[in-house]
Amino acid sequence: MNDSVLTPVIAIDGPSASGKGTVAARVAQALGFHYLDSGALYRLTALAALRAGVAMDDEARVATLARQLPACFDAGEILLDGEPVTEAIRTEECSVGSSRVAALPAVRAALLDRQRAYRQKPGLVADGRDMGSVVFPDALLKVYLTATAEERANRRHKQLIEKGMSANISTLLQDLQERDARDAARSVAPLQKSADAELLDTTQLSIEQAVQAVLDWYQVRLAAL
């Protein structure tokens, strides 16, 4: 049996604020699988660049930062150089920065092995933009999770307000659309639904319904082995 069956991966890709992080984490929990939030690695890289005063388009220096990222994920907390940055990487400045550094091929290459190292038994749920297309092309299940831009802006707004952060819906919508456009237009690993991915439009779905849809597809894949 090959690794795609022995250490199965569920790849969940999609645009900003589509809810893939929440769904992926819950699917991982339901199956007892590991979970990779690949966007956090791009966000950490952007934060490291901001803190080091490195320009977001300085490909060689940003890639060096990405390769050496002193980051760790510890019981829901994300640490950079030992300092908790779970909130700091979610600011709009880091969101915009992450999609800029993510467009640089050397940065994506620098993060590749690190992402693949998360593939461990009994399995992995990974969310991002290129989990199914580049990082885990042999994933047992690939899902493209999306929702309308308006619904995504509403969700991100609610999320920020709940965290006590200030937010403006029209600015968020504009940022989301710009980020989606940059993610879709870049030459390496652009955001797009691959032909072998299941489409999950969550505009009208609750989190529980979205999680169940992924679990159902996964059972179908397992049954077909």
Catalog residues that contact ligand CDP under the rule CB under 6 A: 16-17, 21, 38-39, 42-43, 95, 98-99, 102, 128-130, 179, 183
Q: Report in angstroms how near the CB of residue 107 gets to ligand CDP at its nearest.
A: 9
Q: Which residues pair with 146 in a beta bridge?
A: 201
Assess contact for 156 and 212: CB atoms under 8 A: no
Tokens 């179908």 map to which residue? 220
Q: Which of 6, 10, 13 is nearest to 29 (CA)?
A: 10
Minimum CB distance to ligand CDP smaller for 18 or for 31:
18
In the complex, minimum distance from the CB of residue 214 to ligand CDP, in angstroms, rounded to a whole number: 16
CB of 146 to ligand CDP, least distance (A): 11
Smallest distance, ligand CDP to C-beta of residue 196, A: 17
Nearest residue (CB) to ligand CDP, 19 versus 123: 19
How far, in Å, CA of 115 to CA of 42, rounded? 11
Q: Which is nearer to ligand CDP, 5 or 109 (CB)?
A: 109
Q: How far is the CB of 95 from ligand CDP (least distance, A)?
A: 6
CB of 165 to ligand CDP, least distance (A): 14
User: Which of residues 13 and 140 has its CB atom nearest to ligand CDP in the complex?
Assistant: 13
In this complex, which beta carbon is closest to ligand CDP, that of residue 97 or of residue 123? 97
Please, which residue, 123 or 132, has the CB nearer to ligand CDP? 132
Three-class DSSP labels, the chain: CCHHHHCCEEEEECCCCCCHHHHHHHHHHHHCCEEEEHHHHHHHHHHHHHHHCCCCCCHHHHHHHHHCCCEEEECCEEEECCEECCCHHHCHHHHHHHHHHCCCHHHHHHHHHHHHCCCCCCCEEEEECCHHHHHCCCCCEEEEEECCHHHHHHHHHHHHHHCCCCCCHHHHHHHHHHHHHHHHHCCCCCCCCCCCCEEEECCCCCHHHHHHHHHHHHHHHHHCC
Residue 39 or residue 123: which is nearer to ligand CDP going by CB?
39
Instruction: Report the nearest approach of ligand CDP to the CB of residue 212 (Å).
Output: 21
